[in-house]
């Protein structure tokens, strides 16, 4: 077994690997891997936007995030559950690495949730039975048994512990045991917990995560379920080219940042200023609808686009197109008929800036969010960003709507918006 440790940012690291190991890493998508042009048998291995730990063939890769672990898990939780994640703050351990911290938090939260026993509930069951229970399924009875009196095709509610909540917790514990770098204490506790879920149906690889609804009945499960869902998202097996199986706990940082900005800005914009935020809504650049566009956020009032926002963990600079993000945002503004677009970067990857496009009458504003802040300060910064976006877009909208009104009405409308912007 070969162990590789990498930072999230930094140049590729030269490592001695076999040809098979290097090729598996190259097609896995976990890291970047190319043969070194200077030394035979050496591969240049670098981070590819993911953090965590994974096993690819007989190679175990660990990628350390540049932000602290508690900040990273806050972003992960908030991007999936929004403000609900803050109501049941999940306590994290003091382990120095991401995987042990998540493993320890998982078994502690699950242990706390099932301390009074597994939560039972009613599930709908369809089966063939010798006696009538619940409702007779007439169509199924005639199709399967051709008028015979027995067995009966019935549908009924059964009181059982084999409910979605328990299936999610069991699946998360099983997945976490497959992740490399799980500490021995967590592995022992997770195996102990699985004995409690013996009567719960396991989820197979590829099965979708069952849906559950938060209620007062399952309130003791809430924190554990939210953490378990994060574990299931991060441990999903991906098959790259050539059916390369990847087992591990991996977080895609660009996708995480995009999801966090979308959720946080949606709550800030809709909660304070109203309207509707559409995420990843489908548009097209051309009249023939052959070139799709999917901006991260389109903020609408009365179905009219008023602002477009795109989240970028770092600036995209492909060869030949060093300002690809700006070109993309200009396309969004053109299609949506907007004069201003907003790009939101993670601080440290790109600096705030303002670009006025020649001959287009469009302006592209670049913002930066500091992910190293405490959750409260980060959300306050998002609220301030939402207010700045709203001040410009709503003022422009009111100017158009008040074009036939008096200057006093315009000044009053602008002043009303300004009072909502934090100083």
Q: Give SS3 for 10.
A: coil
For 90-109, what is the mean pLDDT?
79
Rounded Cα distance between 17 and 24, Å, is 11
Task: Tell me what pLDDT residue 403 has.
Answer: 54
Residue 92 reports pLDDT greater than 70: no
pLDDT of res. 394: 66
Instruction: Work out the average pLDDT over 114-139.
Output: 81
194-191-106 Cα angle (round to 5): 80
pLDDT tier at 13, thresholds 50, 70, 90:
very high
Q: How many CA atoms lie within 13 A of 210 on its CB side?
A: 20
Beta bridge partners of 16: 42
The residue that leads in pLDDT, 397 or 171, is 171
Q: How much is the pLDDT for 207?
A: 79
Q: What percent of the chain has pLDDT over 70?
A: 84
At 317 the three-state DSSP class reads coil
Report the pLDDT averaged over residues 325-339.
92
At 299 the three-state DSSP class reads strand
Pairing label, strands 2-7, 13-16: unpaired
List Cβ neighbours of 74 (8 Å cut-off, separation of 6 or more).
Answer: 85, 375, 378
- Higher pLDDT among residues 365 and 155, named by residue: 365
Predicted local confidence at residue 322, as pLDDT: 63
∠ at Cα 420 (418, 421), nearest 5°?
70
Q: What is the residue whose two structure tokens read 């197979």?
A: 204
The two beta strands, 304-312 and 340-346, are: parallel
- CA–CA separation, 50 vs 206, rounded Å? 21
The confidence band for 14, taking pLDDT boundaries of 50, 70 and 90, is very high
State residue 193's pLDDT score.
96
pLDDT digits (tens, 9 = 90+) for 39-84: 888 999 999 999 999 998 889 999 999 888 888 888 988 888 777 6
Q: Between the CA atoms of 61, 67, 69 and 74, what dihedral angle is there, to the nearest 10 degrees?
A: -120
pLDDT of residue 213 exceeding 80:
yes
DSSP string, 324-383: HHHHHHHHHHHHHT-SEEEEEEETTTS--EEEEETTTTEEEEEEEE-TTS-HHHHHHHHH
What CA–CA distance (Å, rounded) separates 405 from 399?
Answer: 9
Q: What is the pTM of this model?
A: 0.79
DSSP 45: E
CA angle 77, 231, 222 (to 5 degrees): 60
Asked whether the predicted pLDDT for residue 181 surpasses 80, the reply is yes
166 has a pLDDT exceeding 90: yes
Cα distance between residue 223 and residue 128, in whole Å: 38
pLDDT at position 196 over 70: yes
333-337, 393-397, 404-408 — which one is most confidently predicted on average?
Answer: 333-337
For residue 335, what pLDDT is reported?
Answer: 93
Distance separating alpha carbons of residues 283 and 335, to the nearest angstrom: 8
Q: How far apart are CA 50 and CA 65, in angstroms?
A: 8
pLDDT at 256: 92
Mean pLDDT along residues 111-123:
91
Task: Inform me whether the pLDDT recorded for 285 exceeds 60.
Answer: yes
Q: Which of 58, 51, 2 is nearest to 31 (CA)?
A: 51
| pLDDT score of 304 | 87
Number of C-beta neighbours around residue 130 at 10 A:
8
Question: Mean of the per-residue pLDDT values for the chain?
Answer: 84
93 burial class (0-12, 13-18, 19+ CB within 10 angstroms)?
Answer: middle
Query: Exposed, middle or buried by CB within 10 Å (0-12, 13-18, 19+), for 168?
Result: buried
| Distance (Å, whole) CA 272 – CA 234 | 32
pLDDT for position 347: 84
Average pLDDT on 352-368 reads 89
Q: What is the largest CA-CA distance in the chain?
A: 83
- The answer to which of 98-107, 170-179, 239-248, 318-327 has the lowest mean pLDDT is 239-248
Find how far residue 368's CA is from the centre of its chain.
20
Kindly indicate the confidence band of residue 154, based on its pLDDT and cuts at 50, 70 and 90. Answer: confident
How confident is the model at residue 406, as a pLDDT? 44
Q: Which domains does the chain have, with CATH numbers?
A: 1-66+242-250 (no CATH), 68-120+161-236 (no CATH), 121-160 (no CATH), 255-418 (3.40.1350)
Structure tokens at 423: 């100083």
Helix axis angle, 222-234 to 164-177, nearest 10°: 50
């Amino acid at each position: 077994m070969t162990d590789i440790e990498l930072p999230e940012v930094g140049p590729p690291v030269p490592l001695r690997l076999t040809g098979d190991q290097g090729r598996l890493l190259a097609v896995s998508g976990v890291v970047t891997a190319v043969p070194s042009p200077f030394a035979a048998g050496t591969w240049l291995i670098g981070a590819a936007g993911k953090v965590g730990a994974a096993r690819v063939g007989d190679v175990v890769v660990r990628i350390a995030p540049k932000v602290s672990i508690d900040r990273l898990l806050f972003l992960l939780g908030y991007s999936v559950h929004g403000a609900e994640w803050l109501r049941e703050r999940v306590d994290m351990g003091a382990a120095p690495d991401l995987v042990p911290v998540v493993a320890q938090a998982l078994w502690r939260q699950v242990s706390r949730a099932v301390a009074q026993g597994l939560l039972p509930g009613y599930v709908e069951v369809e089966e063939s039975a010798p006696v009538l229970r619940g409702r007779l399924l007439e169509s199924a009875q005639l199709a399967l048994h051709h008028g015979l009196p027995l067995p009966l095709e019935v549908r009924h509610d059964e009181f059982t512990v084999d409910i979605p909540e328990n299936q999610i917790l069991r699946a998360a514990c099983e997945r976490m045991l497959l992740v490399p770098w799980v500490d021995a204490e967590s592995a022992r506790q997770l195996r102990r917990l699985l004995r409690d879920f013996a009567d719960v149906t396991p989820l197979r690889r590829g099965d979708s995560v069952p849906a559950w609804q938060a209620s007062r009945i399952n309130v003791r499960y809430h924190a554990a379920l939210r953490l378990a869902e994060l574990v299931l998202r991060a441990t999903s097996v991906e098959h790259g080219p050539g059916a390369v199986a990847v087992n591990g706990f991996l977080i895609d940082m660009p996708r995480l940042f995009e999801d966090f900005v979308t959720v946080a800005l949606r709550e800030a914009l809709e909660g304070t200023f109203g309207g509707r935020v559409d995420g990843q809504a489908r548009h097209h650049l051309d009249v023939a609808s052959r070139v799709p566009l999917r901006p991260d956020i389109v903020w609408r009032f009365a179905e009219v686009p008023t602002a477009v926002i795109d989240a970028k963990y770092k600036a995209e600079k492909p060869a030949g197109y060093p300002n690809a993000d700006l070109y993309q945002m200009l396309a969004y503004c053109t299609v949506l008929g907007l004069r201003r677009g907003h790009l939101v970067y993670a601080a440290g990857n790109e600096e705030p800036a303002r670009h006025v496009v020649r001959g287009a009458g469009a302006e592209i504003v670049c913002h930066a969010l500091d992910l190293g802040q405490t959750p409260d300060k980060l959300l306050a910064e998002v609220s301030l960003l939402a207010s700045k976006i709203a001040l410009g877009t709503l003022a422009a909208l009111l100017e158009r709507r008040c074009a036939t009104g008096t200057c006093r009405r315009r000044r009053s409308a602008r002043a009303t918006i300004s009072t909502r912007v934090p100083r």
